[in-house]
Amino acid sequence: MTSEERQLTALRRGQPDRVPIMIWLNPLVNPWATGICREVDPDAAGYREVLNAALEYADLEFDWSFPGGFFYTAWDVHPTSEHVSPERVKRTVQTPRGPLTSVVQNRSGGGTEKYWIETVEDAKRLLSIPYEPPRPDLTEFFRTREASQGRYLSKVTLMDPVCAVGMIDPMVCALWTKEERGLLKEILDTAYQRISDALDYLLGNRVGPLYYFNGPEYALPPLMSPRDFEEFVVEYDTKLIAKIHSYGQLTQIHCHGRVNRFLEAFASMGTDSLNPLEPPPLGDVILADAKQRIGDRVCLVGNIQYEELAAATEEEVDGMVRRAIEQGAPGGGFILALCAAPYEVPIPPRTAKNLIRYMQAGVEYGRY
C-alpha cells in the first residue's frame, strides 16, 4: 500500500497492511505544512534526523490550512503588532466599531495576557467585521497533491465554529454561557455560516480527501457544561460533517482534554476520525475502552503522550507503542499518533532519538 492508501483505509475503519504512523512536526521545520512562515533551519534545530526518519517510516500528510483571515473573512482588518516590552507583543485589528487588541508573550512557552474579546462591546466589534468570502488560489494544493503520488495524504485544516470562543477570555466566556448566551450563539452562528461557505467553495472544487477541524476542546468542562458541548459543538459540527460526506470526503476532529464522557457525542456527529485521545493524567481516555465504545464508528488516532515519550527510555518507548497498537489496532480503524507535536527548538537529542524509535517501533509492531 502507498502511505495515502494506508491512511485512507484506516480512516474508513478498514485494516491496511500495517497501522499508519503519524508524527506532527513543529510547523517551523515541517516541509509538508503550508501557509506558515518556516524560519528555523531543520539542521540547526536538530530535526534533520527526525525528518529523515519520518520520510522512511511515517505516514505523512500534506497540511493545507484554509487562509480564512481574522474571523473567517477576506476583508482586510489591517492587523498591526508592536512590542510593548521585550517579551510582550500587542496585536491590533481595526473594525468598523473600533479596534480589537490582544497581548501575547513573545517567548517560548508564553501565553496570552489579554484576549481579543473581554467585553460585550469587543464582541460587537468582532461581529461588525464585514464578510468577504475568502476564495484562495487552489493551484498549490492540487499541484502538491498530484506530485505526492500517494506518498502522503492531503488534508485541509479548518477551525470549527466553537474556535471563535478561543478569542474570548476564558473566564468571561464561562460567565457568558449563563449571562450572554445569545451573544455567544450569534458569534457561533456567524462563524458556522462562514465556514459552511468556505466548504462550499472547497468541496465544489474537489479539494480533499481529508478535512481536519480544530476547536471542540474550548467547550469541554470545567469551562463549559455537557449541555454547552451539545449546543456549541455537536449542533454545528454535525451539519458541517454531513456536508463534507455528501461530497465523498472524510473528516477528522482534533480535541485535547478530558473527552472520555464525550466519545459517543463525537461519534454521533459522524466524524470519520478523532484525535489525540489523551491518556491520563492530562486526559482521561483509555484506548481499549474507546475502541470498544466507538471503534466501530470512528477511526481512533492517538494516544501516546508526547511529554512521556520525550522522557522515556528506548524500552519504554517500545512499550508505549506496543500497548497502543494492542488496544487500538484490532480490526483496523486505528492510526498511531502522538498527542502533541514536538515544540522544542532546538529539539533535545534524547527526544529526537525517541521520536525516531517511536516510528521504527510502529512499523515493527504494527503489521496486520
Arithmetic mean of pLDDT, 123-129: 97
Does residue 50 surpass a pLDDT of 50? yes
Place 107 in a pLDDT band, splitting at 50, 70 and 90: low
Tallying the residues shown for the chain, one arrives at 368
Arithmetic mean of pLDDT, 174-179: 96
The CA distance from 121 to 128, in Å, is 10
Lowest-pLDDT range of 24-33, 97-106, 278-287, 303-312:
24-33
Check residues 211 and 42 and name the one with the higher pLDDT: 211
**The C-alpha cell of 192 is what?**
458556522
Residues with Cβ within 8 Å of residue 327, at least 6 apart in sequence: 286, 287, 288, 291
Place 128 in a pLDDT band, splitting at 50, 70 and 90: very high
- 63, 75 in Cβ contact below 8 A? no
Q: What is the pLDDT of residue 36?
A: 43
Arithmetic mean of pLDDT, 288-310: 97
Question: Residue 148: phi, psi to the nearest 5?
Answer: -65, -30
Question: Percentage of residues in the chain with pLDDT exceeding 70?
Answer: 95
| Average pLDDT value for the chain | 92
Domain limits, the chain: 3-75+118-365, 76-117
The CA distance from 235 to 253, in Å, is 14
Q: What is the pLDDT of residue 35?
A: 46
Does residue 332 surpass a pLDDT of 60? yes
The CA distance from 217 to 232, in Å, is 11
The fold of the 3-75+118-365 domain, in CATH, is TIM Barrel (3.20.20)
The CA distance from 253 to 190, in Å, is 20
Does residue 37 surpass a pLDDT of 70? no
Does residue 88 surpass a pLDDT of 80? yes
pTM over 0.75: yes
Burial of 25 per CB tally in 10 Å (0-12, 13-18, 19+): buried
